Each structure stands twice: as C-alpha cells, then as structure tokens.
Structure 1
Amino acid sequence: MSTVFNFTFVPWFRSVAPYIHKFRQQTFVVGITGEAIAAGKLQAIVQDLAMIQAMGVKIVLVHGFRPQVNEQLRLKNHEPQYAAGMRITDSIALDCAQEAAGQLRYEIEAAFSQGLPNTPMAGARVRVMSGNFLTARPVGIVDGVDFQHTGLVRKVDVEGIRRALESDAMALISPFGFSPTGEAFNLSMEEVATRVASELQAHKLIFLTEVPGVATDPLLPISDDNPIDTEISLATARRMLAQLPPAEKPTDTSFYLRHCVRACEHGVERSHILPFAVDGALLLEIYVHDGIGTMVIDEKLEELREATIDDVGSIIQLIEPFENDGTLVKRDRTEIEQDIANYTVIEHDGVIFGCAALHLYPHGADGEMTAEMAAVTVSPKSQGTGDGEKLLKRIEQRARAQGAKTLFVLTTRTMHWFIKRGFEPVSPDWLPQERKAKYNWSRKSQVLVKNLK
C-alpha cells in the first residue's frame, strides 16, 4: 500500500513543486462571488486560500454579495432592480448591502480563524486585514437611469493593501466604498477586483464564479464538442468580446471575460475564470498544468499562432540543429511547405522561438481520430520559460477542435517531459496503421499518448 502511495504522491509533488517555487511572493487578487458563499463553499475555499498563502503567495480577497443583498431585500418585501447589468441601489438596497457586507466579512474572518484539527488548516494562523481601502464615486444617471447609491471605484489605497500583504496578512475587501464626503456606495465585486488587481499590478486576477469558463466557440453552449478554452490570448479575448452581446447577468459569457480583458490591458499578467462548483478549483488552476477554467493571458511581445508559408525559413533554421544531433527526424523544405498549415509557432519580438506540428489519423474500429504532435522544438534561448508548455496546450486545443480523442508523440530524448504533462508510454503497436507504416524501428522512438477526452 505504501509503495503505491509513493508512486502516486512523489511524481505529483514533483510536478507541483515548480509552481510553488514560481508563485512565491507573487500577488493574486481572488474575487469570490456571493453565490459561492450561498452555495456553502466558503469553508473549502478558505482552506484552499490558506494553503496557497502558506506556500508564499500574497492574497487579496474580494467577496461579492449579490444573493445576500437580494435575500435581505426579499425579507423587506423590496424587489431588486437592475439596468445594464448593474444593480440600482436605492436607500433600502443600500441598507441591505451594508448589512450583507458586514455579515459576510464576519463570516469570512471567522472561517480563517478556524485552525481545525484534521483539516488542511490545522494549526494555521491566517491573519486577515480589512479596511477602507476604496474611495468611490457615483455611477450617476446613465441613459436616463439613476443608479442612486451604486458606485464605481475612484481610488484604491495601494500602499495600505501592500502594507497588509507585507505583514503576511491576507487583505479582505468588501465591494463597498465611500466618497471623500463620507457617502456610501454599493460596488460590484468584479469591478473592485479588477481595479485592485490593476492598481497593484498583481500577477493574477482570479474569479471564482458560477460559470465554468469560456467555451472555444463563445457563441455556443459549453459541451463535449465545444469545450472550455483553457488559455486565451488577450487579442483573442478582445475578438470574442466583439462578437458577444453586452452582458446583462453574471452567467453571460462576456460578463467576466470583459473584466479579465480589462485587467490584462492594465498590466495584470493573467486573469482566470473558475467554477466554484468544482472542489479545489483554485488549487487545480494554480498548481496543475492543464488547469480547470479559462485563463486570459497578456502575451505582450509574444505571439502563439498558426504558421504561414512565410515562416518556413524560420522553422527550418530553428529545427536544423536538432535534426543534426539526432533529436528530430530530418524534414526537407518541400515537406514543411506542404504541411505548414499544421504547424503552430511561438514568436518573440518577431523571431520564432518554438514550433510544433499536428497530424490527424483515424484510429480504431469506431472511427475515432487520434493526433500526433510532431517536430516539437523550442530554441535553447527560451527553454525553461514555458514556451514548450504553451505549444503543447495549443496543439491539444487544435487536436480537440478537430475531433481527436488522443494525442501522441514519438521521442527519443524528452520522454520524461511529456510524462510529467499527462502522457503515458505505449508500445509502437498502438500507433494508427498509417503512422505505424512510417515508424522507424531502428530509431527506437518512445511512443507516448495522452487522453484528450
């Protein structure tokens, strides 16, 4: 039994360790919807946040309170009012928002104070600091609608938040702000989290929400044929928003996506949309290679894209040293030109630093498709920067979009890199017939397969 445990725990821990090291001393802003708290997820989320903080991450937690305010309004026989996706906060709704904010802040602080035995928080002492970190201003009258006590963030007390984080405390922010004259305003969690992340220049903005992420085709429902797109470039996210109608409610695709785009446009490296319904969603997204939700990434001068005929010369120059030392099988220029549409490249400042090709094959009696990731190359100048993982993710996305259920690679020297990323070794006899006919038995390449279902 202990041997089996060792074989599962040790590889898992080794795969997680690089992420623990990478994220130490980084700042994450986490926005939790009121719906997550109403669904009874607070205790599990708090335990996960405590573990993440214990691994050296500085956390700013922003909570929402939509359902809690609505419940308070219901008890007062007062209907919630919305326009253009924002709450209209009259005096009664303002009272309800103040009550809800106070109650939730108390519940969250109490949850972080429970270092209960036999839980991941056993013996933990998580200090939570909250305060008037936000100055607000009124939304005012928009298109004839008076939003009354609904506000927008005017200013973030960046130094105050940083002092809290530098004292090893977790900063807790409610979506509530005051004007310089002392007037109170109801804010949205999403706007607060986005502004705070932007002002802090946080490394990540994470929304723990009702939605599982953004589908590959955002105009269609999420399904097996239209799965979650786990990584979207800022440019692609902008194009998606241009296609989508304005969000009226939080479950609309563009609701969280527009906040992720805004954060990335203002200096946040990565923004995430995660489902709170999945236990451990934060841990899975942060410390597991494939993640669980959708990540929007500001690639700046880096571009991950499909290759064009103009890239052939650069691809040949990139792969030639690896062909010469036997790492890659030699390919002539004509072959690369014919297959250029199958290639994905990663480019920095106009120079191609990595490439990979995708080839589809029928596999099995039921007509299922499998895909090969071939010619995988990363320049020595950018190895260790994550370019290989970005190429793998894009190839996986392309393979899924074309109906492949599995992805395989043939390698003589990078077997362990692929195994760490979910591939499993198989016999060459596993290969689809068309690919097996071209298999070079004298090279003795290892065949590795990853399930894409």
Structure 2
Amino acid sequence: MPTNAPNLAPSAEESASNFPFVGWLRDVAPYIHSFREKTFVIAFAGELVQEIGLENLIEDIAMLHAMGMRIVLVHGIRPQIEEQLMLRKIKSKFGKSTMHSYRITDAAALECVKEAAGELRLDIEAAFSRGLPNTPMAGSRISVISGNFITAMPVGVVEGIDYIHTGLVRKVDSSSIKQSLDSNKIVLLSPLGFSPTGQAFNLAYEDVAASTAAALKADKLIFLSPYPGLKDAEGDIITELSLPQLQEYVSQNKEMEIGMKGLLNIAGKAIRAGVSRVHFLPSNQDGALLEELFTHDGIGMMLASSDIENLREASQDDVGGILQLTMPLEDEGILAARGQDVIERDIQRFSVIEHDRVLFGCAALFPFPNGVGELACLAVDPDVQGSGDGERLLKRIEMRAKQEGIKKLFVLTTRTEHWFLKRGFKRATVDDLPEERKQIYNWDRKSMVLTKDL
C-alpha cells in the first residue's frame, strides 16, 4: 500500500460512536418486518397540536408510511373549537351526564367546528407536503386523501337535552378507505360526519377512530390523548390489560374522569369488533408513537383480548404439555433436564400460554431468600417463536415475582443470553447467585448468569 494512501478503516472511537445506532437499527428490524402492510389507525387529540406541535408527529407518521404501513390518521379539534368560540364570544355548552361529555353543537357552534376542522386539516396536509433537504421529510412523496368517508347520525335528545348538531358515527365507507390505502395513500379523517340528507355533524374523534378501525379490522388502533395513564392498586402504571381486566378496572374505579372512561369504553368496543390491539399514548410526549411501536417496553398501555386471556397459571393437567415443550430443548442442551416427577412437584411454580387449549409456552418462578427469584424453564413452541409469547411469559413471571415480594430475578442460560439482555437483564457471575442456588450450580453446563432488578 502507498504510504500516502488514506486510512479508510474506522477508528475505535468512531466504531464505538456508530455502534448504538447500528444496534438500534438491528433491534427494530423485526418490528419493521412485522408491521409491513399492516393497517394502523392513529388518532391524536387536538391538545397535541398546542403542546408539542404537528411537525415531529407528521414526520414520524411519514416514516411509518415509508416502511410500508397502511395509515389512517384521525385528528381531534376540541381546543381548536374552544379558540373559535372565544373569538366569536360564544359560550361552550356541554350536556351533564355521568356517561359522556358531549358538546351541545348549535348552529353557531357548528360553524366554529367547521372552521377548526378545516384549518387543522389544511395544516396536516401542508405538513405532509414538506420535502426540504436535510429533514426527515426529504424525498418523501406522500398523498393524503380526505373525504366524506363517515356517515353520521344525530345524538338526538338525551336526558332532556337536545344535542342538535352533535352526532355519532353511523357507517364508515371502508371500501373507499381500503382503495385509498391500496393506492399507497394516507387517509386523513376529521371529526365531522354527514347524514344522507347532507347535514353535517360534530363527532368525537375517538368515535371516528374506533369505528374506522373496527370497519377496517385494523391491526392497531393508537390513541394519543391528554389523559394520564391508568394505575394499579399499588400506584404503578398499567402497561397491559385484557378486555375482562379492563371491564373489572372500570367497574372498580367509578371516580375515573368521564373522558377517559368514554375512551376506554370505545376502545373495548373496537376490540370486540375485531381490532387486534389498542394502544394509549401520552399526547404531550414527543416521539411517543415510535417508542411504543419500536421498543420492547413501549411507553403507554396496550389493550388486547385473546392472547392475554390465554396466559394463566399451570395445573397438573398441563404436565404433559410442558414436557412436550421442554424435552426437545433439554435434548439440545438449551434447558437443564427436568423429569416428569420434578415438573409435577413444581407445577404450581409454572405459568403457561395456550391457544385453543394447546400449550405453546411455559415458564417457572422459584423464590429464594432476600427477595430473589429464579426465572427457569422458559420455553416456546418453535412454530410460534417470534409471535411475542416469550415476552408475555416473561412479563407474567415478573408480575408474579412482584406479587411475591421478589425484587430481583436471575436466569441461567446457555444459548439465549442476548434475548434476555434485550429485555433488561444484565450479565452477572455465579458468585451473584443466592447461596442455596450456588451450591447446586452445574459447572458442566457452564450456564451464563443474568439478573434483572424489578
């Protein structure tokens, strides 16, 4: 090589600085593959525009679109309506009910609704049209489709109050929306609907989003709302709920804010109508959408139905199914050998996940003194690996551990170190194990030790 040839090899410092990005990109690749061609209905409250602005959200949605996701975007306009009412010196009027907080939309208020919706819709379309160099929108060519996709009906007179031009979604033109999505368009829906007689109605953006997601059988319905996250009895933020758990939570928390209660009720209807997942994210946090979709822990709460419902504690009837899962992995040396007698003895320590009464995964929790527990025997059927069953089992074990007062988990593994590292575990040594577990450590297997603080 000539002595004056440039050194093109990256320095150690450059490699270290680039590695976090490379690692992150590799981590999110499975999500990108999984979400391609999936239909997402993304709904954001009008408060988002006032608190963090449109620019970054539109850039994030444009990126999702570029990755091959089919996007329906629904916007709210409640604070924008209030601004228009104040400009015209018109007082806001709401119905008094414990079930909802509908605005009473008379003729003057309807004009404010139209003004607010039209202005924000134009701002959104303009944001999608940007393509300046050296910005996330550079090179983007995004077409946005709006139209009369929503047929509405009046709320009518409820508890003696006439809501006049306030309406409910009656029908969604799903075939036209699908045609637009098939043509690689982003569909933009405002919270307005029209009756067959041509009358306009003011709608709740949550109703528009949920009804559209249900009509499309969307893969995800995502709400960016101003409501705070739900908390459990211990004051911890709830990250996952099944439909039965949601119903129980609402019945036990009768003092919940009316708006949040209405949002949860609408989300439950969407799940029952066939929407796979509903996500609730904070509207005042920049990047919440990307963090929820492309990180393991996410940032909000997810509502689902069947998968979570099928996650339960094991019984003696499950011993055979657990053996079918674990024996092939024991033969490969991935799991430590456990005979049927051992599994029968410890069956109360196992959690399992099943689909149509067939076991597809299992995991066990063994407590030790001083608030330490062992995660053991985590196994998922090879036919469903990558579907998230392993992560759901891990979360179940973590939940059980917290309920038992366990503050730290450890796991011994020979092949799956990186899977656990990506989910918050850290490398440790045999010396970090509880004394009782250290004494029966199998030095022939030379398992790696990983720990996680709960």
State the TM-score, normalizing by the size of structure 1: 0.89
Aligned to 2:125: 109
1:358 to 365, 390, 415: 365
1:378-389 residue pairs with structure 2 within 5 A?
A: 378-389=380-391
Q: Are the aligned partners of 2:276 and 2:304 in contact in 1 as well (CA < 8 Å)?
A: yes
Question: Which residue number in structure 1 is paired with residue 48 of structure 2?
Answer: 36
Q: In the alignment, is the contact (CA less than 8 A) between 2:94 and 2:101 conserved in 1?
A: no
CA change 1:107–1:291 in 2 (3 A) is: same
Q: Indicate whether 1:165 and 2:184 are aligned.
A: no
Rounded Cα–Cα distance in structure 1 between residues aligned with 2:409 and 2:442: 19
RMSD over aligned Cα atoms: 2.3
In structure 1, the partner of 2:303 is: 296
Alignment map for 1:8-27 (pairs within 5 Å): 8-27=20-39
2:382 pairs with 1:412: no
Asked if structure 2 preserves the Cα contact closer than 8 Å seen for 1:70 and 1:80, the reply is: no
Which has the higher mean CA deviation after the structures are superposed, 413-422 or 348-357? 413-422
Gap change, CA 1:301 and 1:442, over 3 Å in 2 = closer
Unaligned runs of 5+ in 1: 364-368
Aligned residue type for 1:237: L
Which of 70, 73, 76 in structure 2 is aligned with 1:61? 73
Instruction: Say if 1:307 and 1:344, in contact at 8 Å, map to a contact too.
Output: yes
Q: Per-residue deviation at 1:432?
A: 3.3
Would you say the 8 A contact 2:46–2:78 is kept in 1? yes
Aligned: 1:138 with 2:138:
no
- What TM-score do the two structures reach when normalised by structure 2? 0.89
Q: 1:408 to 1:257 in 2, by over 3 A?
A: farther
Bigger mean CA deviation after superposition, 424-433 or 299-308: 299-308
Aligned partner letter, 1:387:
D
> Is 2:264 the partner of 1:249?
no
Matches of 1:192 and 1:380, distance apart in 2: 40
CA offset digits 1:336-364 (Å, max 9, x no partner): 4454343221001111111111234455x
For residue 273 of structure 2, what is the aligned residue in structure 1? Answer: 266
Deviation at 1:249, TM superposition (A): 3.2
The answer to which of 64-73 and 17-26 deviates more is 64-73
- 1:258 to partner: Cα distance: 1.9
Report if aligned partners of 1:29, 1:59 keep a CA contact under 8 Å in 2: yes
Q: Radius of gyration: which is bigger?
A: 2
What does residue range 52-451 of structure 1 map to in structure 2 within 5 Å?
52-75=64-87, 76-83=89-96, 84-215=100-231, 217=232, 220=233, 225-245=234-254, 248-250=257-259, 252=260, 254-299=261-306, 303-333=310-340, 335-362=342-369, 369-451=371-453
Gaps of 5+ in 2: 1-12
1:321 partner letter: P
- Per the TM alignment, residue 393 of structure 1 is displaced from its structure 2 partner at its CA by 2.6
Classify the secondary structure of the residue corresponding to 2:382.
coil
Question: Distance in 1 between the 2:397 and 2:285 partners?
Answer: 26
1:63–1:175 Cα contact (<8 Å) kept: yes
SS, match of residue 60 in structure 1: strand
Residue 8 (structure 2) aligns with: none
Q: Percent identity?
A: 53
- SS of the equivalent of 1:82 reads coil
Structure 2 residue matching 1:205: 3-state secondary structure: strand
CA distance in structure 1 between the aligned counterparts of 2:185 and 2:439, rounded to whole angstroms? 61
Question: What is the total number of aligned residue pairs between the two structures?
Answer: 438
